[in-house]
């Protein structure tokens, strides 16, 4: 494949990947070089590693296992409000951590709705605190993403395949074996690796819901090394460990996810004739209702808590909201400039290294990246003056892995389908990109841009390092309100953040969908 | 002609700006926030100093020290404000700080005569609970009860570290035993104060580790008398927040002027209802109304800076051991 002529050149994508990798590794190196000799990794660090791996594996397995039936139900059912539901399901993923924790506790906490109901029924209370609580929260965050990634796989199956299957009168089982399983075998590993990588860097969720220091993750160990011991060497080592783990998971996923696509179709809306039995209908309905309840109840709690305070928010909050919107826009533009060429490079066979550098953004601890960039920038300039571009850039890089997961499969398929035709028509390069690739990737570009904008809006990220007096984002101001005892106002600000994040996600994701299907 | 005047105006403005000295103060983020003391302190100080005060917020006390170490001798900071007694030794060891020229009569429950660090406010750590609940009067009583508490992780939060030293200074070698007794009372541990307090206000726990002054916030700012602090007979550990001048500052006199201002009436009167701590020097007008309702511990506990530094690693190991089982 590598030797064949390709409709797009990988040069741009390879440069973008090199840039991303250089930035992250330079930040890590800056921290490591600034280190004085400290103690190496101790037993407590290995315990942290063990807990981190356990919770990340469990969270990834459970999220993806639940996502499969949900994605299947969403793929084969058409009902009123379906697309709204799919969009709403994305909301937990883009919530700021602390807000999500408080929302989850409203439902699952000691005095939450479930325990109140149990108490009313005379049943013993259930505790959310412990490993199961950590996994529950991670599934809450990541089930929607896993579902969207797998649903995308379903939607990449051309409608003609299902027609043929129906004409051949294939049973549900046969259809699963011949059409759906090969698709899942391609889609699952990357969904698993993505969720695993996200959970690997979890800290506040794991600690607050884990019930104590047993739930120490590597990210917390980095925090301790940095703040409690000021041992930069250990912080850099732990961060490198985190990156190595993510890279390994990513490489494994890439290896497993190889395989041919489904070939071209006529882009007709998918119609299916299977799954019409009562049992199948019941199962799908159950999947959809239960997942919707699980994901939407905590959101409802957040909306309920914030609504009363939304309109009485001080003016500075709205100013911070404007700053956040600006950061989100810049960040989304940077993301697309990086992700699209990289996706094209991967699609034309320059896979592994480019993919790998795309994953780095997930693995790198924000604390280490922030510190590293600070060390690099300070001798040259006042870091506070660079708050906006640095925040936007780091946010874009951390959204990059998701964007690639979303863009790569379809880019690869489009290149495989239309590449030869384009070459024979002598329209390789820019014309192919503008007239074939980008228009056909519109839904994926919209989804990726929406996700990036929303994540950037809600992410506290590296802002803590660079925030000057005049540059405060909405998440930062929300934390500040909480730090000043103003929990009610913080709930209002959190709701505003949710509305903005979700609004950005909705608008971009919606804008990308060019026919009625998601 | 108009343009000329305008140009002249702009020019002289830039010249004036260049001549106005700037004082850069690194402090924790909640100090500079719109709801903290920062904005009022800046206004009050700038009214008389003929200078510009730059308040730069850095997360919290521990992150502040880390930032100083990162920047080393080239730091832009003239003053660092917001370290606590547990960080004093590490801060002094950097060799980046200079002696101050502040003379003040402190109203602290402990003796204070440090030539580097100027205390500007202080508070007692305490567990805060609903006013209608029964409060335990010691850690042992708490351990024997079935009350659930939320605390902060000492590795990422200064109050969390304060609790470790509180128990250590009351119980000494018995600290591990006390922690084992408390293990089933600890509902969960959070990254920072905000998360813990938020959990408590949501009704997740019966008590949260905070300050004796926390009920004053609810009373004064929200006219809500529903919170109180549990008074422990064995005493309450203190947090003393301090500021210091950097040796590398090019505004040494102005830095001293600022430190003196921080313990003056003007600044001290701002702190109780913005930082929700006790003033280090009681302002002439006394404490704000509402503070008289707070508990006043009979015993004030505070390890010396050297003891705190020497104890913290051991205390952390004991805490991890007791709560990780």
Evaluate whether residue A486 is within a structural domain. yes
CA of A205 vs chain B CAs: smallest distance (Å): 9
Task: Fill in the DSSP letter of residue B36.
Answer: S
Instruction: Determine how β-strand B207-211 pairs with β-strand B52-57.
Output: unpaired
Whether A388 contacts A320, CB under 8 Å: no
Q: Which chain B residue lies closest to A317 (C-alpha atoms)?
A: B34
Do B36 and B78 lie in one domain? The reply is yes
Residues of chain A found within 8 Å of residue B205, distances taken between Cβ atoms: 110
pLDDT > 70: what percent of chain A? Answer: 92
Evaluate whether residue B215 is within a structural domain. yes
A484:B320 CB<8 A: no
Task: List all residues 6 or more positions away from A449 whose beta carbon is below 8 Å from its beta carbon.
Answer: A332, A335, A336, A508, A509, A512
Distances B264 to A25, B16, B257 between C-alpha atoms, Å: 48, 28, 10
Name the residue among B56, B63, B189 with its Cβ closest to that of A227.
B63
Task: Fill in the DSSP letter of residue B114.
Answer: -
Question: What sign does the CA torsion over A466, A472, A478, A480 have?
Answer: positive
Alpha carbon distance A479, A486 (integer Å): 10
pLDDT tens-digit map of B184-234: 999 999 988 998 999 999 899 999 999 999 999 999 999 999 999 999 999
- Domain carrying residue B220: 125-237+297-323
Alpha carbon distance B162, B150 (integer Å): 14
Report the residue of B46, B92, B156 to disrupt the A interface, i.e. the one with the largest count of A CBs within 10 Å: B156
Do B244 and B233 lie in one domain? The reply is no
Question: What sign does the CA torsion over A245, A247, A251, A257 have?
Answer: positive
Alpha carbon distance B143, B147 (integer Å): 8
Alpha carbon distance A421, A385 (integer Å): 49
Do B27 and B104 lie in one domain? The reply is yes
CA of B87 vs chain A CAs: smallest distance (Å): 10
pLDDT tens-digit map of A376-432: 888 888 887 888 888 888 889 888 988 988 898 888 888 888 888 888 888 878 888
- Residue A125 maps to which CATH number? 1.10.3720.10
The pair of three-digit structure tokens given for residue A332, joined into one six-digit string: 């989304």
Question: What sign does the CA torsion over B132, B138, B139, B144 have?
Answer: negative
Radius of gyration (Cα) for chain B, nearest Å? 21
A102:B71 CB<8 A: no
Going by pLDDT thresholds of 50, 70 and 90, the confidence category of residue B59 is confident
Task: Fill in the DSSP letter of residue B288.
Answer: P
Q: Which long-range contacts (CB under 8 A, 24 or more apart) does A132-136 make?
A: A133/A108, A133/A209, A133/A210, A133/A211, A134/A55, A134/A59, A134/A202, A134/A205, A134/A206, A134/A209, A134/A210, A134/A215, A135/A55, A135/A58, A135/A59, A135/A62, A136/A104, A136/A108, A136/A209
Highest mean pLDDT among A36-45, B65-74, B161-170: B161-170
Task: List all residues 6 or more positions away from B68 whose beta carbon is below 8 Å from its beta carbon.
Answer: B26, B75, B77, B80, B91, B94, B96, B246
Evaluate whether residue A12 is within a structural domain. no
Evaluate whether residue A54 is within a structural domain. yes
The pair of three-digit structure tokens given for residue B3, joined into one six-digit string: 């343009």
Residues of chain B found within 8 Å of residue A210, distances taken between Cβ atoms: 188
Do B161 and B310 lie in one domain? The reply is yes
Task: List all residues 6 or more positions away from A72 whose beta carbon is below 8 Å from its beta carbon.
Answer: A154, A180, A284, A287
The pair of three-digit structure tokens given for residue B101, joined into one six-digit string: 């020229």
pLDDT at B83: 94
Name the residue among A374, A469, A482 with its Cβ closest to that of B198.
A482
pLDDT at B11: 46
Element (H, E) at B243: strand B236-246
A109:B204 CB<8 A: yes
Residues of chain B found within 8 Å of residue A220, distances taken between Cβ atoms: 153, 155-156
Q: Which chain B residue lies closest to A487 (C-alpha atoms)?
A: B198
* Residue B28: Cβ-neighbour burial (10 angstroms; 0-12, 13-18, 19+): buried
Give the N- to C-terminal CA distance of chain B in Å, as an integer. Answer: 81
Do B143 and B204 lie in one domain? The reply is yes
A210:B90 CB<8 A: no
The pair of three-digit structure tokens given for residue B243, joined into one six-digit string: 């500021």
B56:A484 CB<8 A: no
Name the residue among B76, B191, B320 with its Cβ closest to that of A207.
B191
Alpha carbon distance B84, A33 (integer Å): 29
Task: Fill in the DSSP letter of residue A396.
Answer: H
The pair of three-digit structure tokens given for residue B323, joined into one six-digit string: 């709560």
CA neighbor of A216 nearest in space, from B180, B154, B184, B209 = B154
Q: Which chain B residue lies closest to A112 (C-alpha atoms)?
A: B204
CA of B203 vs chain A CAs: smallest distance (Å): 6
Do B65 and B132 lie in one domain? The reply is no
pLDDT at B16: 47
pLDDT tens-digit map of B234-282: 999 999 999 999 999 999 999 999 999 999 999 999 999 999 999 999 9
pLDDT tens-digit map of A30-51: 988 887 777 777 788 888 999 9
The domain total for chain A is 1
* Residue B166: Cβ-neighbour burial (10 angstroms; 0-12, 13-18, 19+): buried
Task: List all residues 6 or more positions away from B86 whose beta carbon is below 8 Å from its beta carbon.
Answer: B158, B161, B162, B165, B305, B308, B309, B312
Residue segments in chain A with a per-residue pLDDT below the cut of 70: 1-4, 258-271, 273-275, 350-351, 461, 464, 467-470, 512-518
Name the residue among A34, A207, A224 with its Cβ closest to that of B190.
A207
Q: DSSP letter string over A16-30?
A: HHHHHHHHHHHHHHH
Residues in a beta bridge with B57: B27
Name the residue among B34, B74, B155 with its Cβ closest to that of A228.
B155
Residues of chain B found within 8 Å of residue A384, distances taken between Cβ atoms: 56
Residues of chain A found within 8 Å of residue B156, distances taken between Cβ atoms: 220, 223-224, 227-228
Evaluate whether residue A359 is within a structural domain. yes
Q: Which residues of A310-339 are buried (b: 16+ CB within 10 A; e: fewer)?
A: beebbebbeebbebbbebbebbbebbbebb
User: At B301, is the secondary structure helix, strand, or coil?
Assistant: strand
CA of B61 vs chain A CAs: smallest distance (Å): 9
User: pTM here?
Assistant: 0.88
Evaluate whether residue B55 is within a structural domain. yes
As a residue count, chain B comes to: 325
CA of B186 vs chain A CAs: smallest distance (Å): 8
pLDDT at B2 over 50: no
Whether B58 contacts B29, CB under 8 Å: yes
Instruction: Determine how β-strand B186-190 pairs with β-strand B52-57.
Output: unpaired
Task: List all residues 6 or more positions away from A271 whose beta carbon is below 8 Å from its beta carbon.
Answer: A159, A162, A163
Do B283 and B182 lie in one domain? The reply is no
pLDDT tens-digit map of A161-220: 888 888 888 877 888 888 888 888 888 988 898 899 889 888 888 888 988 888 899 988
B66:A487 CB<8 A: no
The pair of three-digit structure tokens given for residue B318, joined into one six-digit string: 């004991």
Report the residue of A36, A50, A103, A110 to disrupt the B interface, i.e. the one with the largest count of B CBs within 10 Å: A110
Going by pLDDT thresholds of 50, 70 and 90, the confidence category of residue B161 is very high
Name the residue among A213, A226, A468 with its Cβ closest to that of B323.
A213
Whether B237 contacts B125, CB under 8 Å: yes
Q: Which chain A residue lies closest to B33 (C-alpha atoms)?
A: A480
Evaluate whether residue A171 is within a structural domain. yes
Evaluate whether residue A13 is within a structural domain. no
B90:A467 CB<8 A: no
Whether A96 contacts A475, CB under 8 Å: yes
Whether B132 contacts B254, CB under 8 Å: no
Instruction: Determine how β-strand B22-27 pairs with β-strand B278-279.
Output: unpaired
CA neighbor of B272 nearest in space, from B145, B79, B123, B60 = B123
A481:B190 CB<8 A: no
- The residue whose two tokens read 């070698």 is B173
Distances A146 to A399, B88, B319 between C-alpha atoms, Å: 15, 48, 38
Do B106 and B215 lie in one domain? The reply is no
- The residue whose two tokens read 């104060």 is B193
The domain total for chain B is 2
The pair of three-digit structure tokens given for residue A49, joined into one six-digit string: 């590693």
pLDDT tens-digit map of B297-308: 999 999 999 999
Do B112 and B155 lie in one domain? The reply is no
Task: List all residues 6 or more positions away from A408 whose beta carbon is below 8 Å from its beta carbon.
Answer: A343, A346, A347, A355
- Residue B25 maps to which CATH number? 3.40.190.10
CA of A487 vs chain B CAs: smallest distance (Å): 7
Mean pLDDT of B83-94: 92
Name the residue among B63, B153, B198 with its Cβ closest to that of A102.
B198
CA of B168 vs chain A CAs: smallest distance (Å): 18
B189:A464 CB<8 A: no
**Chain A with chain B: Cβ pairs closer than 8 A:** 140
Residues of chain A found within 8 Å of residue B76, distances taken between Cβ atoms: 382
CA of A324 vs chain B CAs: smallest distance (Å): 17
How many C-beta atoms lie closer than 10 Å to residue A143's C-beta? 25
ipTM of the complex: 0.86
- Domain carrying residue A388: 26-36+48-512
How many C-beta atoms lie closer than 10 Å to residue B173's C-beta? 8
Evaluate whether residue A3 is within a structural domain. no
């Amino acid at each position: 494949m590598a030797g064949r002529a390709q409709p797009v050149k990988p040069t741009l994508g390879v440069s973008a990947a090199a840039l991303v990798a250089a930035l992250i590794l330079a930040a890590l190196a800056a921290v490591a070089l600034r280190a004085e000799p400290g103690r190496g990794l101790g037993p407590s660090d290995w315990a942290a590693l063990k807990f981190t791996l356990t919770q990340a594996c469990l969270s990834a397995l459970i999220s993806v296992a639940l996502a499969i039936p949900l994605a299947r139900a969403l793929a084969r059912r058409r009902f009123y409000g379906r697309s709204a539901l799919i969009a709403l399901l994305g909301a937990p993923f883009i919530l700021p951590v602390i807000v999500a924790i408080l929302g989850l506790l409203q439902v699952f906490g000691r005095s939450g709705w479930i325990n109140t109901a149990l108490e009313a029924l005379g049943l013993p209370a259930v505790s959310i605190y412990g490993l199961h609580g950590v996994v529950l929260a991670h599934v809450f965050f990541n089930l929607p993403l896993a579902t969207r990634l797998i649903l995308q796989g379903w939607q990449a199956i051309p409608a003609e395949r299902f027609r043929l299957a129906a004409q051949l009168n294939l049973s549900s089982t046969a259809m699963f074996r011949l059409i759906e399983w090969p698709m899942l075998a391609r889609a699952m590993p990357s969904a698993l690796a993505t969720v695993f990588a996200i959970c690997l860097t979890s800290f506040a969720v794991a600690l607050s819901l884990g019930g104590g220091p047993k739930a120490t993750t590597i990210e917390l160990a980095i925090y301790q090394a940095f703040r409690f011991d000021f041992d930069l060497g250990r912080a850099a080592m732990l961060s490198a460990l985190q990156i190595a783990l993510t890279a390994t998971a990513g490489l494994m996923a890439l290896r497993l996810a190889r395989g041919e696509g489904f070939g071209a179709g006529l882009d007709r809306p998918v119609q299916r004739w299977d799954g019409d039995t009562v049992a199948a209908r019941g199962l799908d309905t159950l999947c959809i209702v239960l997942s919707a309840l699980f994901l939407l109840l905590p959101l409802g709690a957040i909306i309920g808590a914030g609504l009363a305070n939304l309109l009485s928010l001080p003016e500075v909050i709205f100013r911070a909201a404007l700053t956040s919107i600006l950061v989100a826009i810049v960040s989304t533009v940077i993301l697309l400039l990086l992700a699209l060429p990289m996706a094209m490079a991967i699609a034309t066979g320059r896979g592994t290294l480019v993919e790998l550098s795309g994953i780095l953004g997930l693995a790198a601890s924000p604390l280490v990246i922030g510190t590293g960039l600070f060390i690099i920038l300070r001798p040259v300039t006042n870091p506070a003056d660079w708050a906006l571009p640095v925040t936007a850039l780091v946010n874009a890089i951390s959204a990059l892995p998701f964007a690639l997961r979303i863009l790569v499969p379809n880019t690869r398929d489009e290149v495989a389908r239309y590449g030869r035709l384009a070459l024979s028509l002598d329209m390789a390069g820019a014309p192919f990109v503008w007239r074939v690739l980008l228009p056909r990737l519109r839904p994926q570009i919209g989804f990726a841009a929406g996700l990036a904008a929303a994540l950037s809006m809600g992410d506290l990220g590296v802002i803590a390092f660079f925030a000057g007096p005049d540059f405060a984002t909405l998440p930062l101001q929300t934390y500040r309100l909480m730090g000043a005892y103003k929990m009610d106002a913080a709930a209002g600000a959190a709701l505003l953040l949710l509305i903005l994040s979700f609004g950005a996600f909705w608008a971009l994701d919606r804008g990308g969908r060019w026919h009625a299907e998601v | 002609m108009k343009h000329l005047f305008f140009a002249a105006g702009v020019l002289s403005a830039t010249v004036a700006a260049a001549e106005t000295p700037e004082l850069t103060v690194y402090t924790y983020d909640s100090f500079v926030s719109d709801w903290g003391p920062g904005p009022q302190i800046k206004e009050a100080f700038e009214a008389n100093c003929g200078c510009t005060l730059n308040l730069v917020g850095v997360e919290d006390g521990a992150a502040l020290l880390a930032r100083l170490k990162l920047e080393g001798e080239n730091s832009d900071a003239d003053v660092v404000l917001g370290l606590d007694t547990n960080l004093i030794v590490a801060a002094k060891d950097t060799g980046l700080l200079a002696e101050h020229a502040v003379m003040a009569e402190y109203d602290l429950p402990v003796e204070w005569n440090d030539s580097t660090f100027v205390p500007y406010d202080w508070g007692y750590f305490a567990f805060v609970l609903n006013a209608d609940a029964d409060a335990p009067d010691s850690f042992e009583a708490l351990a024997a009860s079935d009350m659930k508490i939320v605390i902060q992780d000492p590795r990422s939060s200064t109050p969390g570290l304060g609790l470790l030293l509180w128990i250590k200074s009351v119980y000494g070698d018995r600290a591990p035993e006390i922690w084992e007794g408390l293990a089933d009372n600890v509902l969960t541990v959070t990254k920072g104060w905000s998360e813990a307090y938020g959990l408590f206000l949501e009704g997740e726990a019966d008590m949260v580790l905070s300050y004796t002054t926390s009920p004053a916030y609810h009373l004064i700012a929200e006219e809500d008398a529903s919170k109180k602090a549990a008074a422990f007979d064995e005493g309450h550990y203190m947090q003393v927040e301090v500021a210091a001048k950097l040796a590398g500052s090019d505004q040494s006199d102005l830095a001293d002027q600022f430190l003196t201002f921080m313990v003056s009436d003007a600044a001290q009167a701002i702190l109780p209802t913005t930082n929700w701590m006790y003033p280090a020097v009681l302002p002439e007008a006394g404490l704000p109304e509402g503070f008289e309702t707070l508990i006043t511990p009979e015993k004030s506990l505070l390890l010396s800076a050297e003891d705190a530094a020497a104890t913290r690693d051991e205390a952390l190991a004991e805490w991890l051991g007791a709560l990780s089982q």
